[in-house]
Structure 1
Amino acid sequence: MTRQRHPLPEANIYARTLLAPEIRPDKVALWHWPLGAPAMVATRFGDLIEQTNRVAALLISEQIGPGDRVLILVPMSPELYATILAVAQVGAISVFLDPWVGRAQHDAACAAAAPKAFFGIPKAHVLRLLSPAFRRIPFNVIVAEGFLGNHFRRRLAQQTPDATVVPVDPGDPAVIAFTTGSTGRPKPVRRSHGYIMSMLDALNQHESKAFDEVDMPVWPIMLFDGLCHGRTSVIPRMKPGKIAEADPAVLLAQMATAGVTLLTGPPALYERLLAHLTRIDQPLPVKYAFLGGAVVSADLLQRVQDRMPHGQAIAVYGSTEVEPVASLSAAEMATLPDGMGVCVGTLHPALDVKIVRLSPDPIRLDERGWEPWELPVDAPGELAVTGAHVSIDYDEDPDAWAANKILAPDGRVWHRMGDSGYQDAAGRLWLLGRASHVIHTPHGPLFPVVLERVAGSVPGVARAVLVAVDGAPWIAVVPTTEAGPGVCSDVGKALAGWPIARVVAQPSVPVDPRHNTKVDLDALRRQLAKGGLS
């Protein structure tokens, strides 16, 4: 049955963001550090609204409107947010591609999205030379701070700001994001106007999200949390995909200038900051530090908390399709009982969770409903969640839907998180590693987090990774600089109770470009195949 649409201007994320009652035109919306500038520059909400309305007028002049797709390959900047909001304002759909995939995947994703316009930095426009799908886009805009962006700025200056908001239904798509996540194949995640606002409202429910706080998030979508609730946000000065190489002194200077009170980023960012703060013996100068994007160890969470004598360190668990799922403060972590895996805290109150049997195949419920699939308390399986801020659709990709969603008898759509784990009797969620990374042996399943924690606790081990090599379970170990020659032997002894085929030492392990934390297992297997093992 076709869903009834009820379009309203106030359902548009543009209206929910820049026309919200919390918005004060004179208040700083964004701090950013332009290329070559000596210091940060402030963009006020009034400036952002005017720029957004000018971009909207430009889109309208190019006959781009409701339902049209606009591809955006622009890093975090005032131009990015003005473009996203303008696209929503005219009823069009912003499309984002994962920048870390190959050219063929970019071409396929662009062909599937079929955008009518492309806003991108100069480097992104190189794809127009390489990709037939990119060359078919009729309207192209170079977004840049230097002379290459002059044409775009002149076009905007010629526009009369248009404040008209196109009515949308809450279920209408606002964003399509092609993301590889941890699965490799880009999935076109469709985020509706209603879903985005539910997600941002869920993020905003934490006690830290007061109107006068100042955010500094690493991820573009998280900055919308501040914008739509009238808070000032700071764009961190770092290269995209180079989080682990960010200059901590620069980030701390940004925090001091803007008075940052909320910091959000992956473990790699916090490791970088902690190393610097330890050297200079200074605290982390924020009230709340949110860690996410990858599994957050109890050790890291506590070390961040130790640098925040008057603040709180909080681990947040979520994914592209649902954010947040659960959270755990360092104070709560300190009171946890011993458990198998990494605790990510209690479920967000707007969500429901089930633990289902591990399966590489789509899950289709029959007349028996959940009975053959749902597991009891403390039993490990795959996490599945449902709720208002769970993305329930992919853009014209039935295979992705079948692999990642479960349709329940009551009509609710559940999202498979792709993580193995369990729920304890107190309702806390514990992660055991990616479900696809679990190695099944005649002796039972080997869960990555369990073995990696044991191996990582051996003196001389900086990091340990469980990886299947030709189906056999190996442990790749990154030794510390102080490690002795017998570190692999020591790890083997610590794992004597598990059927590990081999323990090998590696100088480093490849990680994903987005978070600089998650291990790229395919790249690690190629690295191991080249030899150099010990």
Structure 2
Amino acid sequence: MQANSFDTDFLPARVARFAIERPDAVALVDSTGPLVWRDLWQWSGRLAAALVAEGVRPGDRVVLALPRCTAFVAAILAVWRVRACYVPLDPALPEARLRWQAEDCGARVVMTGVALTSGALDAVVEGVAADATHATNAAIRTDGPSWLPEGATTLDPQAFRVPDDAAAKALDTTNAASSEIFHHAMSGPSSDDSVLIWPAYVIYTSGSTGRPKGVVLSHAALAAYLQGVSERLPEGIASAAYLSTTAADLGHTSLFGALWHGWTLHLIDVDVAADPDAFAAYMHTHSVDLLKIVPSHLDALLQAQSAEWVLPRRCLVLGGEPAPTRLAARIATLRPECQLINHYGPTETAVGVLTRAGAQSRAGTLPLGKPLVHVKARIVDADGNAVPKGATGELCIGGASVAHGYLNRPSLTAERFVPDPDGNGARLYRTGDRSRRLPDGEYAFLGRLDDQVKIRGFRVEPEEVAARLRNEHGVRDAVVIAYADSDGAAPRLVAYLSAAEPSSTSRRSAVVSPRNYRTTWCRRRFRCWPRCR
């Protein structure tokens, strides 16, 4: 169990404490090098000032279209310091999808951009020192991506990583005189946890209508998860690796676990995360204690020449898809001293709700485990009634980590977030997962009640892909399924197209290809659907 001696559950307040108590300790490491807690906190303060100058107010949503890097973490803290809500978007997504998500969430500011060169950084410092009043406009506005919604402003967070103390002070005081929000952000949040009711982030997940849906999570839900999962982690963790996409919550165990406990967070470069030998060398060189990863990704990385180096020193957390027992057994053989935790939880219930330690299982995959301390889990039938112990039904989740609902989707929210029959005004989230409770109290995953699948840890609604295909010229109809070549193999998407013009689907394949984490797919074309007899 990880120690938790703070008097606040608000993450920025905890980071502020680390900046005071251990200012020169390393907080973050990415491809540009280490960043200490003091510099992280000051950087986020300058960004918070820029957000206030751009008119961001409590409750507003700010898009972060950034890769895994120190700027992404600083941007999150900045957004939270002004009590706003961040919306992470994957910059690699198609422009039409990015534009729709940015418009749907109503963001007025988009944080994006690349690292500045040393010359550009010097220019920022000189500009700030010369004229603090216009520092925000001069330093951090960028031309913006082509998918930017009309009227939105872009900020480059790297422009605020200012090494000069005088320039930093000048930038920190930009437009501060009339801004109560600015003073609150700069003074640092107090231990008053009333701020926990505010939304912390919105994450978009796949939707069966062809449009993704945004899940709204509060600071209270995130804090409940971090408190609960801390009780399941072993002692002695001092560092964690973060190698998941920023646009999903799979990596929040590492990302926010590090900010919660004061670990050093290693933000793994995308090229290193895809290279088994490079990743193994990084983990070994930096002696990383904790890793959260999708089982299929880990399976690929274990092809490294020194496979045992891929694994962390103290704790490996598997999540995002069912964990094969054969993989768990190999992990136990390669590094027996590393505690293996199977981790389950939909985005709608703040990262995770069930965990299970150990590699042993009689089934082909590890059980999901038992609920965290704040979680209420129950299995119901089609009418919402509790099933007898051991019977199969739909897994429903209640407790402090349940999301507010879906952004701008009241009907879907009412459908999936239902009243708790035990009363007290609480709600249960219907996961859509088939499950049953085992004799020892653990829950087992038995598949889905709908067509949703997991591809490399990402939730994918095949109907969303099919709907996108049907919009393409020459495609009469489309059906998309998940297919595995063999038992235990990672699934891939297979699209069946009915085309009026046979050449058109091939010509436009690049347009309709799924996003990067779904690239392993194939396509079959029909003039009409085969008839079943």
TM-score of the alignment, normalized to the shorter chain, above 0.5: yes
Matched, 1:347 2:379: no
Matched, 1:19 2:17: yes
Q: Contact 1:95–1:177 at 8 Å: present in 2 too?
A: yes
Q: 1:414 Cα shift?
A: 0.8
Residue in structure 2 matching 1:49, options 41, 49, 54: 41
Cα distance change of structure 1 residues 529 and 164 upon mapping to structure 2, 3 Å threshold: farther
Matched, 1:306 2:320: no
Residue in structure 2 matching 1:274, options 285, 302, 308: 302
1:491-511: per-residue Cα shift (whole Å, max 9, x none)? xxxxxxxxxxxxxxxxxxx99
Write the mapping of 1:283-302 to structure 2, written as runs, cut at 5 A: 284=311, 286-302=313-329
Q: Contact 1:382–1:421 at 8 Å: present in 2 too?
A: yes
1:425-466: per-residue Cα shift (whole Å, max 9, x none)? 321111122221399xxxxxxxxxxxx999945xxx855789
Q: What code does the residue aligned with 2:370 have?
A: T
Matched, 1:89 2:81: yes
Q: Which SS does the other structure have where 2:368 is aligned?
A: strand
Matched, 1:249 2:287: no
TM-score, normalized by length of structure 1? 0.69
Specify every segment of 5 or more residues in structure 1 that has no aligned partner in the other structure, as ranges: 1-8, 35-40, 364-369, 440-451, 471-509
Q: Contact 1:384–1:415 at 8 Å: present in 2 too?
A: yes
1:82-112: per-residue Cα shift (whole Å, max 9, x none)? 1111111112221223557544433332222
Distance 1:275 1:295 in 2: 20
Specify every segment of 5 or more residues in structure 2 that has no aligned partner in the other structure, as ranges: 1-6, 116-141, 174-184, 247-251, 454-481, 498-512, 529-533
Q: 1:189 Cα shift?
A: 1.2
Q: 1:128 Cα shift?
A: 4.1
Distance 1:24 1:412 in 2: 40
Distance 2:282 2:527 in 1: 42
Cα distance change of structure 1 residues 453 and 99 upon mapping to structure 2, 3 Å threshold: closer
Distance 2:218 2:212 in 1: 19
Distance 2:378 2:84 in 1: 35
Percent identical: 26
Residue number in structure 2 paired with 1:325: 353
Cα distance change of structure 1 residues 267 and 277 upon mapping to structure 2, 3 Å threshold: farther
Distance 1:71 1:453 in 2: 34
Write the mapping of 1:161-240 to structure 2, written as runs, cut at 5 A: 163-165=186-188, 169-180=195-206, 185-208=211-234, 210=236, 212-219=237-244, 220=246, 221-222=252-253, 223-239=255-271
Q: Which SS does the other structure have where 1:306 is aligned?
A: helix
Write the mapping of 1:455-474 to structure 2, written as runs, cut at 5 A: 456=486, 462=489
Cα distance change of structure 1 residues 342 and 381 upon mapping to structure 2, 3 Å threshold: farther
Write the mapping of 1:293-442 to structure 2, written as runs, cut at 5 A: 293-322=320-349, 323-331=351-359, 334=360, 336=361, 338=362, 343-358=367-382, 370=384, 373-409=385-421, 410=423, 411-437=425-451
Q: 1:398 Cα shift?
A: 0.7
What is the root-mean-square deviation of aligned Cα atoms in Å? 3.9
Q: What code does the residue aligned with 2:291 have?
A: L
Distance 1:63 1:227 in 2: 27
Q: 1:512 Cα shift?
A: 7.2
1:391-437: per-residue Cα shift (whole Å, max 9, x none)? 24232321331232111241211112222221123211111222213
Cα distance change of structure 1 residues 281 and 412 upon mapping to structure 2, 3 Å threshold: closer
1:15-43: per-residue Cα shift (whole Å, max 9, x none)? 14333699521211011113xxxxxx111
State how many pairs are aligned. Answer: 428
TM-score, normalized by length of structure 2? 0.70
Residue number in structure 2 paired with 1:503: none
Q: Contact 1:55–1:156 at 8 Å: present in 2 too?
A: no
Residue number in structure 1 paired with 2:67: 75
Distance 2:56 2:364 in 1: 53
Matched, 1:142 2:142: no
Cα distance change of structure 1 residues 28 and 456 upon mapping to structure 2, 3 Å threshold: same
Q: 1:384 Cα shift?
A: 0.7
Distance 1:293 1:23 in 2: 35
Q: Which SS does the other structure have where 1:175 is aligned?
A: strand
- Where relative contact order (Cα < 8 A, 6+ residues apart) is larger, the structure is 2
Q: Contact 1:216–1:234 at 8 Å: present in 2 too?
A: yes
Q: Contact 2:67–2:91 at 8 Å: present in 1 too?
A: no
Q: 1:63 Cα shift?
A: 3.0
Residue number in structure 2 paired with 1:65: 57
Distance 1:466 1:92 in 2: 37
Distance 1:528 1:353 in 2: 43
Cα distance change of structure 1 residues 227 and 357 upon mapping to structure 2, 3 Å threshold: same
Q: Contact 2:218–2:404 at 8 Å: present in 1 too?
A: no
Cα distance change of structure 1 residues 51 and 127 upon mapping to structure 2, 3 Å threshold: closer
Q: What code does the residue aligned with 1:27 have?
A: A
Q: Contact 1:298–1:342 at 8 Å: present in 2 too?
A: yes
Cα distance change of structure 1 residues 466 and 217 upon mapping to structure 2, 3 Å threshold: closer
Q: 1:47 Cα shift?
A: 1.0
